[in-house]
Structure 1
Amino acid sequence: MGAATRIMLVDDHEIVRAGFKRLLDSSEDFTVIAEASTGEEAYQQYQRCQPDVVVMDLSMPPGAGGLDAIQRIRAIDPDARVLVLTVQECEPYPSRVMQAGALGYLTKRCAPEELLEAVRQVSQGSEFVAASIREGMNSKEPTKLSQLTKRELQIFTQLASGQSAAQIAETMFISQKTVHAHRANILAKLGLTKTTDLIHLAIRHGIIEA
């Protein structure tokens, strides 16, 4: 039997990491060697530990979270193998993640066996995308959110999670004025009038939980 696949878990909720760590460590094929709670920490830990697979959430403070972390990790290691495990099921999140260089995309509602199989496939350099996610990615019908730029999608996600303009400005290292400008553009593109409409849209799309 070969050496166990070395995994880094990245999620800003400690209790979530603990659950996934217990599941992964229960298999002789895998061992969790590192954990991180932010995209920046993931980037630093990756350089230090060089895991075989990164299992990463998307929505993490500060800044842009998982998407930026994937791009930064792939910039220093083009062979990095990243599996995204998140609550966000709808487009354009999966497409943007795969374009950034991830090999896999699962939702946190997946069965334990599916997560283990996904990690196994990704560790071998194969893509693994949940069937329901793949169906949405292959749809010819663009979602409203597909109109948003990468930065707008990041700010949309943070606004939908209840963060204020001041909080977003601080974590993304931009001015509150810039946040308000992005917010106005986001509302206009989505045909909405206020932030509460944006939150309701995010709930309907399963981006955040009610």
Structure 2
Amino acid sequence: MKIIIADDHAVVRSGFMHILNFQEDMEVVATAADGLEAYALVAKHRPDVILMDLSMPPGESGLIATGKIHEDFPKTKILILTMHDDEEYLFHVLRNGASGYVLKNAPDEELLSAIRTVHKGDTYIHPTMATSLVREFVKQDIDGPEDDPFKILTKREIEVLPLAAKGYGNKEIAEKLFISVKTVEAHKARIMEKLNLKNRPELIEYALRKKLLNF
């Protein structure tokens, strides 16, 4: 199977590449340092699986890239790599199109098993996180989607929100996302309205609470 590794740390990419290329059924065809590069490499190589780090500052996050890749290249299975043992992260990455979720400190055997599992079309979740996943789905079903940005906001609004919270100006956001300044202004206005936020400090607080910022 063809695999791409997306992680902002070169030593992590190198370590995973060594492990995977040692397997007879795996070949790392490319590595990426952020979400934008990951998307471009998936478009070029059309891999079977991509290992996607969630947090890749200062570039585009793995969470946003996961949604884009899942939408445009559904045949590529996305396995999330992260240090976050967090049920909210787990819930959002699966809803955003990931096929699995494995912690970076997991044993090599677990990583290899997870890759082969998602490659077959199944979902890989560590047993200790399965209970959290069920609990979160039940909670969402009871509480509703009102405070879930991945249901309230559009994909483009989710891209604009963290950039605005980090302090980028409208022109800078427009250049990063290849859209017009007026479009950025419109997205920001809808974000504030949908989330019932009054100012930028509230926007920053919301983005931090929902783990939409990478620092």
Q: Same fold (TM over 0.5)?
A: yes
The root-mean-square deviation of aligned C-alpha atoms, in Å, is 3.3
Return 5+ residue gaps in structure 2 as ranges. Answer: none
Q: Size of the alignment, in residue pairs? A: 193
- Maintained 8 Å contact 1:67/1:97: yes
Of residues 77, 80, 89, the one that matches 1:81 is 77
Return 5+ residue gaps in structure 1 as ranges. Answer: none
Change (3 A) 1:184 1:84: same
Of residues 173, 180, 195, the one that matches 2:178 is 173
- Maintained 8 Å contact 2:49/2:76: yes
User: As a proportion of its length, which structure holds more helix?
Assistant: 2
**Alignment partner, residue 67 of structure 2:** 67
- Is 2:117 aligned against 1:121? yes
Change (3 A) 1:103 1:199: same
- Work out the CA distance in 2 between the residues paired with 1:160 and 1:92: 23
- Work out the CA distance in 2 between the residues paired with 1:20 and 1:135: 33
Task: State the percentage of identical aligned residues.
Answer: 31
- Work out the CA distance in 2 between the residues paired with 1:137 and 1:20: 32
Q: Give 1:96 deviation, angstroms.
A: 4.1
Change (3 A) 1:173 1:50: closer
What TM-score, normalized to structure 1? Answer: 0.71
CA deviation profile, 1:44-83 (whole Å, cap 9, x unmatched)? 4335444331112466449x64422332223xxxx32222
- Maintained 8 Å contact 2:66/2:78: no
CA deviation profile, 1:102-148 (whole Å, cap 9, x unmatched)? 42245xx5532354442231122211245335543443122342311
- Aligned residue for 1:51, secondary structure, equals coil
- Maintained 8 Å contact 1:83/1:119: yes
Of residues 2, 7, 24, the one that matches 2:3 is 7
**Alignment partner, residue 111 of structure 1:** 105
For residues 1-210 of structure 1, what are the structure 2 equivalents within 5 Å? 5-11=1-7, 13=8, 15=9, 17-23=10-16, 25-26=18-19, 28-29=22-23, 30-39=26-35, 41-46=37-42, 48-57=44-53, 60-61=59-60, 65-74=65-74, 79-85=75-81, 89-90=88-89, 93-98=92-97, 102-106=98-102, 111-113=105-107, 115-129=111-125, 130-131=129-130, 132-133=132-133, 135-138=135-138, 139-140=140-141, 141=143, 142=145, 143-145=147-149, 146-209=151-214
- Maintained 8 Å contact 1:83/1:103: yes
Query: What letter matches 1:97 in structure 2?
Result: N
What TM-score, normalized to structure 2? Answer: 0.70
- Maintained 8 Å contact 1:55/1:82: yes
Q: Give 1:31 deviation, angstroms.
A: 4.6
- Work out the CA distance in 1 between the residues paired with 2:175 and 2:51: 26
